[in-house]
Structure 1
Amino acid sequence: MVKIPAFEVEQWMDAYENTPGVLNIAETCAASISVSQLCEFHSAGPAPPSIIDFSKPMTYGAIRGSDGLRRNIAALYPDGGSDAGGVTQEDIIVTQGAIAANHLVFYTLVGPGGHVVCVFPTYQQLYTIPETLGAEVSLWKLRVEDHYVPDVGELEKLIKSNTKMIVINNPNNPTGATTPKAVLAEIIEVARRHDIIVFSDEVYRPLFHGLAESEIPPSVLSLGYQKAIVTSSMSKAWALAGIRVGWAASRDKGIIEQLAVARDYTTISVSQLDDQVARFALGADVRPALLARNIALARTNLALLEKFIQDHPDTCSWVKPTAGTTAFVRFSTKDGQPVDDEAFCKDVLDKTKVMFLPGGRCFGHGHAFQGYVRIGYVSETHVLQKALSNLSRYVAENLN
């Protein structure tokens, strides 16, 4: 039997997110919207269109995802390798969320005897699943002094003769950092020289709210490397976690076919209802307004969190996020010692109802990130305001 370690982020969320009266700033999705609210983003007229065709028989539907949904997903990668005509619907497989897409990529392409390099910190699934499949995993550690931008020189040192995959996460969870285009190009060049797959979890793309337009990096699909794979979903940047729709995309037809064959053993298709909602949300007459709403919310809320950090310079420090929905914040006592982040999170929840995640437990892979917590700040603004007000009182009474 395969021994699977506890998925610490999900375990923590399950344990505490239903606490009565909780002020949840651990959630990483942009504040979720209803299907009724989604209709309001439609630009074609005042009457909300019908999102779901209730006349369709509820068969398994399109096995790889409907043509319409996959075309709309492909449109998210407009510069996805123009030398070969860009990304098409045939380059995409629809899954139950990015978490299923990530698992499918590893399940298909990684196994015993292989070696994987994965950025760290990141979502635990990205290094734990390869380990459970028998691969050796080397953690490519991001440093606060580099603003959590990967050091490609360090990557070179981690490459082995059996390295099969380089795993990145851009924008990064938990730090909210963005890997620039120039660094992505260097990663691709390393992979090309060694004939290694580059797998990029881009679930927080395109929620770039702290960068100038010229600074926004492309998807790795756009960098001209055939052996690149990306995953994403409707959950984070699109505020629709409840429909459980994600995808994997690659311009390597061989990789897509391998994923499709492996997927037969895990999933037949996604729900037709979910497919139709996702197709509507990513349509050209809805997507721009929906994304604008989420970017505006992120900018408003990040300003509130930044003020909180500035108001508590002796106890809080961070690298300000440039994208996504999460921030990695270090809390310390008045004498500069990092807090016990797990005990801190529990005490804050107990005394203030504010919920966030302990970095050492959920992202530490040992003893790293003591004193750090991950805050999901793209909640409803009033929730964040109340949470930060309560947290400010707690800091004044307990850390100063």
Structure 2
Amino acid sequence: MVKIAQFSVEAWMDKYEHNCKYNIAETCCASISIDQLRELSEDKRRDIFQTSTALTYGAIRGSDGLRDNLSRLYSARSGRVLPRDNIITTNGAIQANYLVAYTLLGPGDHVICHYPTYQSLYEIPKQLGAEVSLWKATPENKWSPSIDELKSLIKPNTKMIIINNPHNPTGAVLGKTFLQQVIDVASDRNIVIHSDEVYRPIFHSITPMDADFPPSIVSMGYDRVIATGSMSKAYSLAGIRVGWIASRDSSIIEEIAEARHYTLISVSMLDEQVAAFALDPSTIHSLLARNIALAKTNIDILEKFVLKNDDACDWVKPVAGTTAFVRFHRDGKPVDSVDFCEKLLEKTGVMFVPGSECFGEEFKGYVRIGYVNYTEGVKEGLDKATQFVRRNLDDVKLAE
């Protein structure tokens, strides 16, 4: 039997997210309804659901409409069209990431994983019998890992490098120059690069005009790459549970498609219709404009919170995505982040995620904050958190 370690961040969310007043742990851009999605479209008369269509298994690898829209996204600015046949859909990005590992990794393989990150990215390869080396990012380097360290971690049996861009929990990005260096390392040894891009394209503090703006990994000329994404984070539709896997290498897609038959068969036709509507050229620009504006507004609110409490917390300001990694301390000593989050929730109803519990015990004092929810709730919740820091921080245990 596979030994399954506790998925700490999901266990924390499961335990607390329905018992809080201010969920500032949520990592999705503020979720929307079907009615709100229609209002964002330029063509409000177009049906989202084709209600006359029989509800069969649908297109096994994903509907043509959805994959055509994804193809347009991945082909833009790249100079190379990514055919829809190089994209397959999944139940969320969590299944996309699982299928990549399940298909390509096993005993005898070595994996290098960007860290800290979403636990399943390194835990699933371990469960499948692969050896995993953590490629650690640090706040001193603006949460960017070192290319020299990457080179030192390479082994003869290294099969995959896993990155997360934009990055959860820090909101950092790996820029274009950095990504090219990763590709140079990988291409010398024919190593697959898997990039979890679930927070793309929520870039609120860097623009496509910046020289180092990060393209998708599938747009950089190296074919042995895989990008995973979903409708949950950047597109505000976590409830439809639609994700995808894209690769320039057709043989990788074919391998994953074979493994996918054992776990999925197909994605709900109804869910794919909603996703296709959201990613259609008549809707996507308004949807992303709404979410990027929300991120810009709310990151300013969060920055004011950090500045107001700079005697008790510090951070590296996020560049993209929906999350920030903030360190709380007392007289320079990190607090116990679990005790901090539990007491904060109990006294104020504000929910954060403890870094030491959910991202690695070395992240003492850190909490993850999800700030791209509805602005009023974020502002009220952070005001409550400020009151807690001022009145109750002395009651929080220090990290051991």
Does residue 379 of the first structure (1) align with residue 373 of the second (2)?
yes
1:43 CA displacement: 1.1
Which of 385, 391, 398 is residue 391 of structure 1 equivalent to? 385
1:194 CA displacement: 1.2
Map 1:210-225 onto structure 2 (within 5 A). 210-215=205-210, 216-225=213-222
CA pair 258-205 structure 1, distance change in 2 beyond 3 A: same
**Structure 2 residue aligned with 1:203:** 198
Residues in 1 aligned to 2:229 and 2:56: alpha-carbon distance in whole angstroms:
25
Letter paired with 1:393: Q
Residues in 2 aligned to 1:79 and 1:187: alpha-carbon distance in whole angstroms:
22
Does residue 300 of the first structure (1) align with residue 294 of the second (2)?
no
The superposition leaves residues 56-105 of structure 1 with CA deviations (integer Å, 9 ceiling, x where unpaired) of 011000000011100001111124753xx421101100000000000000
Map 1:196-345 onto structure 2 (within 5 A). 196-215=191-210, 216-333=213-330, 335-345=331-341
Letter paired with 2:367: V
Residues 124 and 363, structure 1, Cα contact 8 Å, conserved in 2: yes
**Structure 1 residue aligned with 2:85:** 90
Residues in 1 aligned to 2:45 and 2:142: alpha-carbon distance in whole angstroms:
44
Residues in 2 aligned to 1:209 and 1:385: alpha-carbon distance in whole angstroms:
18
The superposition leaves residues 184-243 of structure 1 with CA deviations (integer Å, 9 ceiling, x where unpaired) of 000000000111000000000000011132232100101111100000000000000000
Residues in 1 aligned to 2:46 and 2:89: alpha-carbon distance in whole angstroms:
24
- Aligned-pair identity (%): 56
Residues 80 and 223, structure 1, Cα contact 8 Å, conserved in 2: no
Does residue 33 of the first structure (1) align with residue 28 of the second (2)?
no
Which of 183, 189, 208 is residue 188 of structure 1 equivalent to? 183
**Structure 2 residue aligned with 1:15:** 15
Which of 55, 58, 65 is residue 68 of structure 1 equivalent to? 65
1:149 CA displacement: 1.6
Letter paired with 1:122: T
CA pair 132-266 structure 1, distance change in 2 beyond 3 A: same
User: Secondary structure of 1:194's match?
Assistant: coil
**Structure 1 residue aligned with 2:349:** 353
TM-score by length of 2: 0.97
User: Secondary structure of 1:235's match?
Assistant: coil
**Structure 1 residue aligned with 2:159:** 164
The superposition leaves residues 157-185 of structure 1 with CA deviations (integer Å, 9 ceiling, x where unpaired) of 00000000000000000000011000000
Residues 328 and 372, structure 1, Cα contact 8 Å, conserved in 2: yes
User: Secondary structure of 1:332's match?
Assistant: strand
CA pair 80-214 structure 1, distance change in 2 beyond 3 A: closer
Letter paired with 1:30: C
1:398 CA displacement: 2.1
Residues in 2 aligned to 1:279 and 1:345: alpha-carbon distance in whole angstroms:
38
Residues in 1 aligned to 2:235 and 2:263: alpha-carbon distance in whole angstroms:
25
Residues in 1 aligned to 2:115 and 2:21: alpha-carbon distance in whole angstroms:
29
Q: Count residues with an aligned counterpart.
A: 392
1:150 CA displacement: 2.3
Letter paired with 1:242: G
Residues in 2 aligned to 1:244 and 1:373: alpha-carbon distance in whole angstroms:
26
Residues in 2 aligned to 1:171 and 1:184: alpha-carbon distance in whole angstroms:
12
Residues 80 and 219, structure 1, Cα contact 8 Å, conserved in 2: no
TM-score by length of 1: 0.97
Residues in 1 aligned to 2:351 and 2:381: alpha-carbon distance in whole angstroms:
8
Letter paired with 1:248: I
Letter paired with 2:373: S
1:22 CA displacement: 2.0
Residues in 2 aligned to 1:212 and 1:167: alpha-carbon distance in whole angstroms:
24
Does residue 124 of the first structure (1) align with residue 123 of the second (2)?
no
Which of 158, 178, 195 is residue 173 of structure 2 equivalent to? 178
Residues in 2 aligned to 1:100 and 1:388: alpha-carbon distance in whole angstroms:
33
